[in-house]
Structure 1
Amino acid sequence: MIKKLAALLVFTVVASQALAQPVAHPRGGVDPLAADIDARDAQRFALLLKDGAVPTAEMLQRDYLDGAGAGVGIFTPMRIVDARRLARAVAARTDNYRYAIRECLPQLPALRSDLRAIYLAFAGLLPERPLPAIHVVFGAGNSGGTASRDAQVIGLEVTCLPGTTPEQFRTRMRAFFAHETVHTWQRDDTPQAAADPLLNQALLEGVADYLASLVTGEVPDRQRDGWAREREPWLWQEFQRDRLAMQKDSASLANPMADSRFRRWFTNYGSAPAGWPHEAGYWIGMRIAEAYVAHSPDPRAAIGELLALRDPAAILKASGYAP
């Protein structure tokens, strides 16, 4: 059985090299009618765990990181980091990787229609925005996804944890397809962003979740949404307290991600405060974005302003959000 699986993976790698090349759209970016999921690097990684093997750093460097595609290239600097770190992650959670290889990697071709439906929805909502290529890879277990200007990358070992059902995986991947696409259109290097890092991050992530909900018809992370709605006024008070404290702290402004108040809301996958869902700040930003568009006489223009995010404080004020 294991030999058959290995042979199937080799066949899939070869086949995917012919099928997963993104087709350009005349306006730039990927054509939504031909959008596909490039899983060639994920397939190469899967071969390293065949026959019960646990790859060493040397094997991962030679057979995965060296000569990797664009997805692994984007995922490496802040997530994979290097072969040694990846090898430690795989050795510590080998069952997680094996589960994702066995249960979810084969499901990717069936998600092509979902990806194209989401991209067609984005093409209708924001026709001037180029759509990114999509890569699925295996990382160091610390990130479900990220984006560059022209591509989004999804870490399969995080989006397909042990116990994930096919329906859960489909829902999660739809959310990632939509959320990470929005990140390819955003920037976060304005002076206002540096002066208000917690609100800026909330809007970067929250706008992505808000637009994802529009094109998928589903609120990203239903569990987090249910938890937050039950305690929205209190949650907003906590957010505002941390936000204002960070604005007064020069060390926090210089390096927000090193501040425990920032990590209370973001970058806490697997390490959220006790009783909290991870990344609760996404939900706060989503609610502000919803309110901003609802209060605007021109919803399409409001969405464009949310993507530009020139002044987070002005966005918050105009939204009228104050639960």
Structure 2
Amino acid sequence: MKDLDFLKMICEAHAPSGREDWLYSIIEDNFKKFGHITMSKLNNIYIHKKGKTSNKIMIMAHADEVFLMVNEISGEGFIKFKALGIDPKSLVSQEVIIHGTEDVEGIVALKPTYNDKDNNVVKMERLYIETGYNSEKLNNLVKIGDYITLKRDMIELLNDNICCKSIDNRASIAAMYVCADELKNVNSDLDVYFVCSCQEEVGHRGAKMASYEIKPDIGIAIDVTFDGGKFGDSDRENKLGEGPVICIGPNVHPKLRNRIIKTADRYNIPYQVEVESGNTGTDAWDIQTAAGGIQTLLISIPIKYMHTSVEIVNLKDIRNTGKLLARFIQELNENELEGLFCF
């Protein structure tokens, strides 16, 4: 399967925090040629590629996406909801899927007001979901607490730019797919564990679990970061299409960081750097301090319009992230680990 086809399939799928198992069949179908696949009790998905030694490297990308949950079904047949990680302004007029006893499609509407002052304010309490069903039919299909996810088909834009929902963090799973494919015929020194982690959006919880279960020598988190281009985060220099972003800061082991930068230079893989002086807000934060301490790297893929239904990523950044990780892994050997880990 081509990486773009895989990206489309996985982005258009639905897996809110706590229901990462909804992705399992897609992961199994596409990663089974790379290694042995298992799922943990709480929905971490592991792909294990055996190496020549007992040393382990873990590559992690979270599988969950931001979501809504049913909070109330009104007598008029409208659904009120709670949101996780989504700005209410970005929800207006969006298509959604309510995952009830069967999937129910709906649209997010903004309750009209006749006060000019209030018309300029979009608050969550003014939003509701319209399905077209009356309350009796709706109550047979939907219950309080059901998940709601954004609905969006992938769009291919110009210059290798791709738009869809849940690019955060399915772009990173696609980068793992590229990495695994690059390593398919490589007999690496280290055992490689590819991890689709659960519940990152609600506190990096899967990262903790996976780190204690696998106890890797090296842990690499792949996530997305904010684009710093036009209309992006002006405090950052990240640009779409200019390569993976290598994090610098206390969450990242300095010798491993220098090593992966040298790998990028050696293979002419474009990359960018980003300074994070504190909590990176990613799985890397929890990997680093788990199981007595794990040498950690954070590689990010720049995207635009994070946590909306129109997130944008550049396909070249996904491919270069996967290639960089593959070259890094294939060059690692057991004998150099001790020297890499000491300061």
TM-score by length of structure 1 reads: 0.28
Greater helix proportion: 1
Greater strand proportion: 2
TM-score by length of structure 2 reads: 0.27
With a CA cutoff of 8 Å and minimum separation of 6, indicate the structure with the bigger relative contact order. 2
